[in-house]
Structure 1
Amino acid sequence: MGEVINGAEKKYFIKWFLEKYELQNREAEWLLQYIASNDHILERVHFIDNFKNLPKTILISTKCVQMTPFKFYKNRRVTSDVEKAFLDIHNNPHEDIYIGLFFKDRSVSPEYAAVLETNPQEEAKETDALVSLQAELILDQAVKIYRLSKLYEQIDRALDARDKEQFLKLTNELKQIEELG
C-alpha cells in the first residue's frame, strides 16, 4: 500500500462515520467503536474498496444503501455474525483487518478518501504488470540497438564493396527503423 494512514486518522474517520451515518446492523456500530478504541488494532485496520482475495475482511453497510448489513470473511469463510468477527479481532490483534464500508456518496467523500487504501493483492498485480512492461520495453530497446548495430555493419560492408543496390536497400531499412522511433 502506498501511503500509510495512522491510527489517529482512522479513529477520527470512524467517529465521523458513526456520527454521520446509521448502520443497518447496530452490533456493527459497536464493533467499529471497539476498533476505534484500540490503538493496536487500529494500526492493523485498512479501509478498502476492493476486497477480493484478502484474508480477513469486514463489510458494513449503512441504512442509506441497499447492501448486505454486515459480512465477515476470514480465509474463505463467511458469516453475518458480528460477535464472531469481534471474537476473531479480539483473539488475533496481530492480524490485518480490511474493512469495506458502503454508504451514500462514499465515492465523493473526502473523509473516506483520506483513509482509503488499495488492496495489497491488486497492488502486487499492478506492480508485477509494471515490472513486466518495463522489462519488455528494455528488451525491445536492446533488440533495436542490436539490430541497428548489425545494420550499420552491413551498410559499411556494402560501402566497402561499392554495392549500391545493397547500400540503398539497407539505408531504406535503417530509415524505416528510425521512423518507428
Structure 2
Amino acid sequence: MERPRGTKSKADQIKAFLEQYQPKLSEARGFLQFMLSKEEILRRTDLVSDLSGYDCAILVSAKGSGTWPFLFRRGDKIYTKTSQAVVELMKSLPERIGLCLSTAPPPWSEEREEFLRMLARWHDEVFQEDLERLTRRQELLREIDRALDERDRKRFEQLSAELRRMR
C-alpha cells in the first residue's frame, strides 16, 4: 500500500537522517524504525527544529550534536528511554507529535574551546609517550638479539628484565 504524500515525505526525511547520521543513543535508531512502521504515528508527526508548542515532543540527536541523546516529553512527563516512549505511544496516540532530528553542533564557548585544546594536548602527550615506549621496546629487542648473538647471558638477562618492567 502506498503511503499518503505527507507521511512519505516524513518517512523519507527520517530514513535520510538514519542513513546520514548515527544517533547518540543507539536504541534511538530502533525507535525511529518503530515510528516508520506505524502509519498512524507518522501521520500525526511533524518534523520540526523547535519542540516548544508540542505537548508530545520527541528529540533524537545525532552523534556530535550538542543536544540531549533522546528525549520523549508528553505533557509534564519526560522520558529518556526509548522503551518508555514506545509504551507511552502505544497506550494512547496524541493528536500531534513534534519530532526533532537534531544534527546541530554544540554551541561554541570559551570553556568548550579550552576543553578541546586540553584534550588535544593530552592526546598528543599520550601519543608521544606511547611512541617513546614503542621505540624503546624495539630498541631493547634489538639489543637482546645482539646479546644473544654475542652469547652475553648477563646482558641478555638485564635487558630482558627491563623489557618485562615495561609491560
Interval containing the TM-score (normalised by the shorter chain) = 0.5 to 0.7
Q: Deviations over 1:92-142 (max 9, x none)?
A: 23532111121148xxxxxxxxxxxxxxxxxxxxxxxxxxxxxxxxxxxxx
1:39-54 maps to which residues of 2 (within 5 A)?
Answer: 39-54=39-54
Matching residue of 1:86: 86
1:68 aligns to what? 68
Higher RCO (CA < 8 A, seq sep 6+): 1
CA distance in 2, matches of 1:94, 1:70: 19
Q: Note the residue ranges of structure 1 that are not aligned, 5 or more in a row.
A: 106-181
Is residue 72–residue 80 contact of structure 2 (8 Å, CA) maintained in 1?
yes
**Residue identity (%):** 26
Q: What's the TM-score once normalised by structure 2's chain length?
A: 0.56
What letter corresponds to residue 44 of structure 1 in structure 2?
A: R
Separation in structure 1 between the aligned mates of residue 43 and residue 31 of structure 2, nearest angstrom? 16
Matched with 2:96 is 96
Residues 24-77 of structure 1, C-alpha deviation per residue, up to 9 Å, x if partnerless? Answer: 011111111011111121101111122123210011111021221011111111
* 2:89 partner letter: I
Scaled by the length of structure 1, the TM-score of the pair is 0.52
In 2, Cα distance between equivalents of 1:50 and 1:17: 17
Partner of 2:115: none
What is the root-mean-square deviation of aligned Cα atoms in Å? 2.0
- Structure 1 residues 55 and 68, CA gap change in structure 2 (3 angstroms): same
Aligned to 1:34: 34
Is the 2:44–2:97 contact (alpha carbons within 8 Å) kept by the matching residues of 1? yes
Q: Which runs of 5+ in 2 are unaligned?
A: 106-167
What is the match of residue 161 of structure 2?
none
SS at match of 1:100: strand
Aligned residues: 102
Q: Which residue of 2 aligns with 1:158?
A: none
Equivalent in the alignment of 2:15:
15
1:46 aligned partner, one-letter code = D
